[in-house]
Structure 1
């Protein structure tokens, strides 16, 4: 088993995914300041506080050219009545349609795409836009919540708890024609999805996970197996059949609230810093990360400025680790040992 895992990791470093024949040398950062997928205001400010925490400077210290494409300009409809209990369906649908097109263009241009949310309903647009360019992608969902409720099983009607249901082919007959979503159709198979960090799953979601045989790891599983084994099984499950692009959708509430307090639905007993960064390091090491989401940073919900800064800084660490920052250093390529530092190099220390 250990030898098989070593061989698979070697193959993953040698093969690249179909929509990007070699690891992208550029990163596109795209802000999605949107909050209508849930009820708590403030999450629309997530992209700004993540940038303010030094994201662009951190990424510039890695071996990429970094392009900050700014924030999308979403429009909130004045009249957007609930439909079958789903709240703000037309507004959320329109926002995701806009985001899908932007992500598709970014990935199609050869960038590794980083989407800054916003709430997690935005994953509908982010993952579907990625899938337009990379239809064979797989999805790693790191979150305290499964976000796989259908409109009929959702206790709240909030769409940030339903995005995965809109993606899965197996749930096509369970997600009715919701206003605002005629532009998208299910595109992902349940075997192309793995969850990590679950600890607050609704009854309907639990039934879906079990009935579809979706691979998932709760925090109990992480305690029992260890994060190294969890990542081995995750990557083998998704990549053993063939090498393909990875979409990582990372909700900051996957971490324990002591580390990420400024978020809308915190749940005790989450990932430690070391576990979260190990996940992202292993994903980077595959050479197959093509796009990622970092969502649900809400500065309004931080008890004080320190709580907001800690959450935003953690988001920057997650993104940078996905893109090659390691706990051994950033490993920016250099040809000679410099005799003196310029201002840019000082930023990268």
Structure 2
């Protein structure tokens, strides 16, 4: 008996994002054939008290794309054009082998995989998984030169350590600020009461990070963030699922009212892509056990599908930027 995905014409590889072809990030011969390489990682820095607290996130997001899988020529009305331009090849390399009992090894595996994709000239897209994943991604981008981070998150992540761990939860932007190739950090979506104290907020401001809270979104905050991105600059797009309002993204650690709508997130990311080149993406802190009837997974998959389309258009038209 046909189900919904059959009626939509879903096809392609089973278990991959959007039914994309399978890839192998460790295969140096195959890597250059891809323009975009999707990978998953359940964790980078787990904690003894909670373990790999977002395990299963990558596969849940893949499952959220299943109804529309298999035909990248379908129209994505978020871009008013095909999912991917002709000639652009995206692959799904599956989940990286990470060890919840060995955080340094897990971070090393992520850093190595991202580095291989970048060296091959492709754009890495990492699905998570816990919210420390951006640290090894950003470390791997050092050879690429000056980097602007656009973080879309409910929290600013400037704590120096949590339970003695300096490379984990709530410390991603603090560690990023210590990387020489990171020249700009734009943080959009902070709201409510999180783990940051005044010391963390002051440290972020002293470094030069620009923090645009969620309540500024209806009052020019989105355009302000977009205008800060240097023309032609390289962007690391770091998205924590809790940036989105819990009404559309329940599958997070700490649902907090007042988050970005899907339309606001789309406007921001499209605007960023019109100014700079998306050089890497992470979409993290998706907790499958807190999802509601798969709604959060579908939202995450829809947003990621559009991001892939934006990257594909940039690859296809490197001189004209992202024309949609």
Fold shared, TM-score > 0.5 on shorter chain:
yes
Residue by residue, what CA displacement relative to the aligned partner does 1:162-219 show, whole Å, maximum 9, x if unpaired?
Answer: 12222223xxxxxxxxxxxxxxxx3344x41110111145113212122223111011
Match of 2:173 in 1: 164
* Contact residue 249 and residue 293 of structure 1 kept, 8 A: yes
* 1:99 CA displacement: 0.4
Measured at CA, do residues 156 and 310 of structure 1 come closer, stay the same or move farther in structure 2, by a change above 3 Å? farther
3-state SS, counterpart of residue 192 of structure 1: strand
Measured at CA, do residues 301 and 156 of structure 1 come closer, stay the same or move farther in structure 2, by a change above 3 Å? farther
* Contact residue 128 and residue 187 of structure 1 kept, 8 A: no
2:303 corresponds to 1:314? no
Match of 2:114 in 1: 103
* 1:232 CA displacement: 3.2
Match of 1:19 in 2: none
Match of 1:232 in 2: 226
**Structure 2 unaligned regions, length at least 5:** 1-32, 73-82, 317-324
3-state SS, counterpart of residue 161 of structure 1: coil
Greater fraction of residues in helix: 1
2:146 corresponds to 1:136? yes
Measured at CA, do residues 156 and 251 of structure 1 come closer, stay the same or move farther in structure 2, by a change above 3 Å? farther
* Contact residue 42 and residue 301 of structure 1 kept, 8 A: no
Alignment of structure 1 residues 268-283 onto 2, 5 Å? 268-283=257-272
The match for 1:293 among 256, 268, 282 is 282
2:187 corresponds to 1:192? no
Larger Rg: 1
* 1:226 CA displacement: 4.6
Match of 1:70 in 2: 94
Measured at CA, do residues 124 and 36 of structure 1 come closer, stay the same or move farther in structure 2, by a change above 3 Å? closer
* Count of aligned pairs: 262
| Distance in 2 of aligned mates of 1:164 and 1:284 | 21
Please tell me the root mean square deviation across aligned C-alpha atoms, in Å.
Answer: 2.7
**Structure 1 unaligned regions, length at least 5:** 1-23, 78-90, 170-185, 334-349
* Contact residue 41 and residue 96 of structure 2 kept, 8 A: yes
* Contact residue 44 and residue 107 of structure 2 kept, 8 A: no
3-state SS, counterpart of residue 249 of structure 2: coil
| Distance in 2 of aligned mates of 1:121 and 1:137 | 18
* 1:323 CA displacement: 2.7
Residue by residue, what CA displacement relative to the aligned partner does 1:47-67 show, whole Å, maximum 9, x if unpaired?
Answer: 101111127937834122111
3-state SS, counterpart of residue 309 of structure 2: coil
* 1:113 CA displacement: 1.1
* Contact residue 159 and residue 171 of structure 2 kept, 8 A: yes
Length-normalised TM-score, structure 2: 0.73
Measured at CA, do residues 147 and 219 of structure 1 come closer, stay the same or move farther in structure 2, by a change above 3 Å? same
2:201 corresponds to 1:206? yes
